[in-house]
Amino acid sequence: MIKVGLVGFGKAGQAVAQVLQDDPRYELCWIARRSAATPAKSAPVPDVPIAALASPDDWGQWLDAHPVDALVDFSRPESLHLYGEQVRRRGLMLVSAISAYSAADLDYAHTLAKDARVLCSPNITVGINFLIMAARLLRKIAPFADVEIVEQHFREKPEVSGTARKIAQSIDVDEDRITSLRLGGIVGHHEVIFGFPYQTVRLIHSSIERRAFGTGAAFALAELQRCENGFYSFDDLMMRRVRNELLVDQGH
Ligand SMILES: NC(=O)c1ccc[n+]([C@@H]2O[C@H](COP(=O)([O-])OP(=O)(O)OC[C@H]3O[C@@H](n4cnc5c(N)ncnc54)[C@H](OP(=O)(O)O)[C@@H]3O)[C@@H](O)[C@H]2O)c1
């Protein structure tokens, strides 16, 4: 069983903690937060210690006393610099979901990957990453098809979805092919429509709840375990998995 420490216990971290606790492949050993404040009453509090780790020294002492095999980070970009040297020194696996790393943060993460397995992914759901991979394949096979991207989110979301922009970039279509609809409380809906002359293909992903981030983190941990030290994106891990599945199908 892989021993995991979770960094961050906000909206996403709380959902991820539930998934990791329910997954028999993992032992969620502890959770690190910025503050030691008691979580809100509504928060699902897992049956593990919650620590406030504010400095690199705190991290070193905590990991000496509470060793783990992997860190899963759903906190803030700055945490990377607090625990980074421990990842390097102890060769910990790192799954970081932080969406807002600067170029300098990512450079630092790359340096850690010389001594550890590091995954950084601004989008960590299996479903969206699978949709992007399928859309890229279809775009290669049918470059003549018209392509439109539709994204739907809750009424208050002001900006065009970052995921929709990532999809557009991945399949090399202009961002003005994205249509955004704002409706009620939709959590997140992304659709890529391929218009062929005599048929239409629609690839659709709908988010149901934040626990999908936990499923993605669990997938990443399982795949990283089979990798060499290095820096990986979610695409890399997904492609490795698909290649392996295809080889098994072909009897290799
Ligand atoms: N890649 C993806 O698909 C994906 C999906 C969802 C979220 N995310 C990322 O996950 C992160 C959290 O999102 P959220 O919506 O859950 O935010 P949030 O509700 O604001 O929660 C942030 C959490 O991080 C903790 N934190 C902040 N600085 C820390 C530090 N230095 N050390 C340890 N913990 C620290 C906070 O501690 P306190 O509780 O003590 O304040 C809080 O628990 C964001 O960076 C977001 O981009 C990524």
Q: Does residue 7 have its Cβ closer than 6 Å to ligand 1?
A: yes
Host domain of residue 197? 126-206
Ligand 1 atom nearest the C-alpha of 75 is: 24
Q: Does residue 98 have its Cβ closer than 6 Å to ligand 1?
A: yes
Q: Is residue 72 part of a domain?
A: yes
Same-domain status, 143 and 193: yes
- Per-residue model confidence as pLDDT tens digits over 131-159: 999 999 999 999 999 999 999 999 999 99
Same-domain status, 66 and 77: yes
* Domains in the chain, number: 2
Residue 29: give its domain's CATH number. 3.40.50.720
Same-domain status, 104 and 10: yes
HEC sequence for the chain: CEEEEEECCCHHHHHHHHHHHHCCCEEEEEEEECCCCCCCCCCCCCCCCEEECCCHHHHHHHHHHCCCCEEEECCCCCHHHHHHHHHHHHCCEEEECCCCCCHHHHHHHHHHCCCCEEEECCCCCHHHHHHHHHHHHHHHHCCCCEEEEEEEECCCCCCCCHHHHHHHHHCCCCHHHEEEEECCCCCCEEEEEEECCCCEEEEEEECCCCHHHHHHHHHHHHHHCCCCCEEECHHHHHHHHHHHHHHHHCCC
Same-domain status, 120 and 130: no
Ligand 1 atom nearest the C-alpha of 36 is: 40
pLDDT value of residue 42: 52
Same-domain status, 155 and 192: yes
- Give the mean pLDDT of 181-192: 95
Same-domain status, 164 and 218: no
- Per-residue model confidence as pLDDT tens digits over 92-108: 999 999 988 999 999 99
pTM: 0.91
Q: Does residue 81 have its Cβ closer than 6 Å to ligand 1?
A: no
Same-domain status, 120 and 225: yes
Same-domain status, 153 and 230: no
Q: Which of 9, 50, 62, 75 to mutate to test the pocket of ligand 1 (most atoms within 8 A of CB)?
A: 75
